[in-house]
Amino acid sequence: MFKAVISEAKEFKKIIDAASNLLDEICFEVSEDGIKARAMDPSHVALVSMDIPKEAFEEYEADVHDIGIDLEAFKKIMNRAKAKDKLILELDEEKNKLNVIFKGTARRKFALALYDVSSSNLQVPDIEYPNEILIKAGAFVDALKDADLVNDHVALKVDDGKFIIYAKGDLNESETIFEEDSEDIISMNIGENARSTFNLEYLKDMTKAASSDDILKICIGTDMPVKIEYDIGGANLTFLLAPRIES
Amino acid sequence: FGKQVTLDDFFTIN
């Protein structure tokens, strides 16, 4: 069996939004400890990992199940959540559906068809990074918006103790520099200068679910995948994005 | 700005 009650449907919607920007389908691996899911996008450029411990739920009861979901359909249903709705997720094993129930002034139920998506058994690779930056999501997203004006990819750099978001187009350039004492920076753990270039659209998708005051943990090296990690409503979201590399 | 590589280029993910 699987039944989970989430006090704020809107918080869970953010998690589904973040995943559905990058993935078509996902397998939720539910167990008595909580829900986890790991998947790569079809092009293998990005990896999404989510961990929602049972403590993040108002009520939680589950055996071990793999629940395969079409994320586009799930996202459309979650878009129907109202501000004060509770969310109940419930596996109907007989009908092979996931019941998605919004409980507000009325009880509204959707039965979502399950997909035969087997769990990937993916692990987030344990990479050692020379640099780790904790930054307010709003500040980072703003820097990405600046970069978006000049090109569709962006360099994330660590230079001389500063964290720099830099883009260069045919004609124009943009640069945002964060120093360690900036109000937007929570901490910078800098080991060495680094530079990696990334597709901007992916970075925007990965950070879309974060509110501006949420804290992003960004790990970067030179020509390495970037790791971006943040928490939403007690759930942990981790993303890896492969870089663009000079050939 | 180079060529997009995949995560498979960095680690074996199953």
Chain B residues near residue A243 by CB distance under 8 angstroms: 5
Contacts of A246 in chain B (CB under 8 A): 1-3
Q: Is the pLDDT of residue B14 over 90?
A: no
Q: B7 and A40 in contact by Cβ < 8 A?
A: yes
Q: What pLDDT, on a 0 to 100 scale, did the predictor assign at position B1?
A: 60
Walk along chain A (247 residues) and give the pLDDT tens digit of each residue: 999 999 999 989 999 988 998 999 999 999 999 999 999 999 999 999 999 999 999 999 999 999 999 999 999 999 999 989 999 999 999 999 999 999 999 999 999 999 887 767 777 888 899 999 999 999 999 999 999 999 999 999 999 999 999 999 999 999 999 999 999 999 999 999 999 999 999 999 999 889 999 999 999 999 999 999 999 989 999 999 999 998 6
Domain termination site, one of A58, A83, A113:
A113
CATH number at residue A202: 3.70.10.10
Residues in a beta bridge with A206: none
Confirm whether A120 is domain-assigned: no
Domain housing A45: 2-113
Residue A183 C-alpha, separation from nearest chain B C-alpha, in angstroms: 31
Tell me what pLDDT residue A37 has.
94
Count of domains forming chain A: 2
Q: Same domain for A9 and A109? A: yes
Q: Are residues A98 and A135 in the same domain?
A: no
Instruction: Give the three-class secondary structure for A162.
Output: strand
Q: Are residues A75 and A144 in the same domain?
A: no
Flag whether A122 is in a domain.
no
What pLDDT score was predicted for residue B13?
57
Chain A residues whose C-beta sits inside 8 Å of any chain B C-beta = 40, 43-47, 120-123, 125, 127, 151, 153, 155, 168, 197, 199, 224-225, 240, 242-247
> Are A6 and A109 found together in one domain?
yes
- What beta strand segments (E) does A119-245 contain? 131-136, 153-159, 162-168, 173-178, 185-190, 194-199, 215-220, 226-232, 235-241, 244-245
From A93's Cα to the closest Cα of chain B, the distance in A is 29
Contacts of A168 in chain B (CB under 8 A): 1
Decide if A189 is inside a domain: yes
**A91/A154 same-domain check:** no
Specify whether the CB–CB gap between A89 and A3 falls below 8 A.
Answer: yes
Nearest to B2 among A47, A123, A245 (CB): A245
Nearest CA in chain B to A167: B1
Residues A7 and A92 in one domain: yes
**pLDDT number for residue A151:** 96
Q: Please tell me the distance from the alpha carbon of residue A200 to that of residue A151, in angstroms, as a whole number.
A: 8
For residue A31, how many other CB atoms are within 10 A of its CB?
13
Dump pLDDT digits (tens) for A38-92: 999 999 999 999 999 999 999 999 999 999 999 999 999 999 999 899 999 999 9
Let me know whether A175 and A104 are in one domain: no
d(CA B4, CA A238): 20
- The answer to whether residue A65 sits within a structural domain is yes
A166 and A232 housed in the same domain: yes
- Within 8 A of A125 by CB-CB distance, chain B residues are 10-11, 13
A150 and A101 within one domain:
no
d(C-alpha A135, C-alpha A182), whole Å: 9
Instruction: Please answer yes or no on whether A122 and B14 come within 8 Å at the CB atom.
Output: yes
Predicted pLDDT of residue A238: 96
Convert the pLDDT of each residue in A12-22 to its tens digit. Answer: 999 998 899 89
CA dist list (Å): A227 to A64, A75, A112, A129:
29, 24, 32, 9
Nearest of A50, A5, A60 to residue A29 by alpha carbon: A50
Which residue among A121, A240, A245 sits closest to B14, beta carbon to beta carbon?
A121
